[in-house]
Amino acid sequence: MSKDITPPKAKIKPKRLKIHNDLRIDDYYWLNDRENPEVIEYLEQENTYCDAMLAHTKDFQTNLFKEMKARIKEDDESVPYKFNGYWYIVKFEKGKDYPIYTRKKETLKAKEEILLDCNEMAKDYSYFKLVGISISPNNDLVSFGIDTVGRRQYTLHIKNLVTGKTYKDTIKNTTGGATWANDNKTLFYTSKNEHTLRSDKIFKHILGNAVKNDVLTFSEDDDTFGTTVYKTKSKKYIVIASYSTLTTEYQILNANNPEGEFKIFQPRVRGLEYSINHYKNEFFIVTNADNATNFKLMKTCEDATEISKWEDVIAHREDVLLEGIDIFKDFLVITERRNGLNEIRIRRWDNSEEYYLPFDNETYTAYTTTNIDFDTTILRYGYNSLKTPSSIIDFDMVTKTKEIKKEQEVLGGTFKKENYISERVWATAQDGTKIPISLIYHRDTKKDKSTPLLLYAYGSYGSTIDPYFSTIRLSLLDRGFIYAIAHVRGGEYLGRHWYENGRLLQKINTFTDFIECSKFLIESQYTSAKHHYAMGGSAGGLLIGVIVNLAPELYNGVITQVPFVDIITTMLDENIPLTTGEYDEWGNPNDKEYYDYIKSYSPYDNVEEKNYPNLLITTGLHDSQVQYWEPAKWIAKLRTLKKDNNILLLKTNMEAGHAGASGRFEALKEDALEYAFLLDLEGKNK
């Protein structure tokens, strides 16, 4: 990488930010105006600089892109699933970036009906995302949401599948999802606050009526909550859910009576989390009631839903996290996590039999998938591991036989899973806690001080990064990289307490866990600091931002994707999307205790005059989750203060949001850029 090119320099326009008698001077606050031409000019200058600094890797990026794309089956389709008399299939065609949604009536030999061809719909847009497909009970109508900016503000459309015509009426600023009542004309949907993007209102739309006459069904007035609406698997109830980080509340309405009044299932109680599943005349409830930290399963009659009527079905266990359930006519399927590993437990309703599906290694991911039908003995689940491509499997719960319906193809002819080694190791945190790390590497890769290693983590919101297979990752593994996932506190890998010990006033554990994992890998000679790399996105980008402040000497390079790095300023601005709903995760900095704690680790507020690793930072101009100005301000401050000559790059996708590019293969170009950055630092640019 050439170091003779002059990097852009953002103008310094000091802004005084004062709270709790503490004054912060933000020199780059002005960058938070995407309508300001100066801001756009600066972002484009950074893009130009990034391109210039990586110009010598341009051909390599192209080759990486082609290599990644060549492993993917272009003409592909999903495993069909049956719903209400139709088989539904999602197809991809060669040379096309977007999915085609189809169905066949009753039998897979029937004539194919194209519901939505996203390739045609996306032709006029640089960004396109379709979500929330919802079929009416009579199979004649479909609703769906479209976003052409990347800000996750979806416009809701309704198409008549008999005539093939899409109705002119559209509903703007929604979540994209909607739910049909059983009358085939009433549609419930969720709208968003235009400024904060909080999902805050449920409306009722009657087919044929003007959208302006839609009825407000529910308004979530607590700005720390969001709301959504859906139908139970039994099809009997429309459900409105209100949710915050630590509290949930549900309202139910018979789907045959869309003009009726919703009834609160159990009023919200701070700290009470529950989810509901309807079966026959009962509701089954996954909940943390009665201090069930790892959750338990309860049930109640559908006519008496308050918590005092709930009865235990599966008791709370200290060593097992209950993650969810699937209900069938004769079977209850329970998804659990024990010692970090996924388990699928099958129980007959009459309690005559109970067993677990067998899984036999420590670096796998297993999960139930599309199980819409009640009256079946077939459970559909997915399985993959760090070295095993994903499979969709139909398991007969009576005969205990399985059929692999689809196994992910890795094209190119060079991939063999026996050529890779995966393992799970344990680092020790500062407080003595054991932190698991999942790793994979090529069997020809030697573990020593010269071996490059990329360590990834997320570590927030109780979201667990399970060991998963990636065809893209092979481009690193086949060039001698070790890839590792640090299962740090803040996720739920080892249960709910794993999350509780990595949020609010214990958030520092997330960051120090990652650092201790890095030290362990270096001390165990999987790698050395000269060849050690780190990556994280969004809240995982916050993690990376913290660790390069705390322990920059451990890393040769890092990649942060859409990083949440200006945490105090964001959490003090209630007009920024998501802020108010995040207080239970980070703390509310309007409270001095939380302000001081957040400030102690906030990446932007803790940039210092010292050496930093090589950094590649990515963002999207229209990001609704982490605003583009956070990484933009961060890089500007880093440019001013850092003392080293290492590479510092910002790449902004000017046409996308939090998830990056929308096309199936367009997103691979972003992966190719990131991998080229890493591999070039290692001199492996072929």
Active-site annotation, residues: 538, 623, 658
What's the DSSP call for residue 269?
-
Pairing of strands 453-456, 420-428: unpaired
Tokens representing residue 533 in the block: 């790399």
Residue whose token pair is 């201090």: 291
What's the DSSP call for residue 153?
-
Tokens representing residue 291 in the block: 């201090």
Going 197 to 203 to 209 to 210, the CA torsion angle's sign is: negative
**Burial class for 281, CB neighbours closer than 10 Å (0-12, 13-18, 19+):** exposed
Residue whose token pair is 């009657």: 206
Q: Where are the beta strands (DSSP E) in 109-247?
A: 113-117, 129-135, 141-147, 154-160, 171-180, 186-192, 199-206, 215-219, 226-231, 237-243
Which of 359, 329, 334 is CA-nearest to residue 346? 334
Contact 280, 260 (CB under 8 A): no
Which of 284, 360, 369, 286 is CA-nearest to residue 320? 286
What's the DSSP call for residue 606?
G
Tokens representing residue 450 in the block: 């010269």
What is the phi/psi pair of residue 116, to 5°? Answer: -150, 125
Q: Where are the beta strands (DSSP E) in 487-641?
A: 532-537, 557-561, 614-620
CB count within 10 Å of CB 565 equals 27
Contact 611, 643 (CB under 8 A): yes
Q: Where are the alpha helices (DSSP H) in 446-576?
A: 474-477, 496-500, 508-523, 539-550, 567-571
**Burial class for 42, CB neighbours closer than 10 Å (0-12, 13-18, 19+):** buried
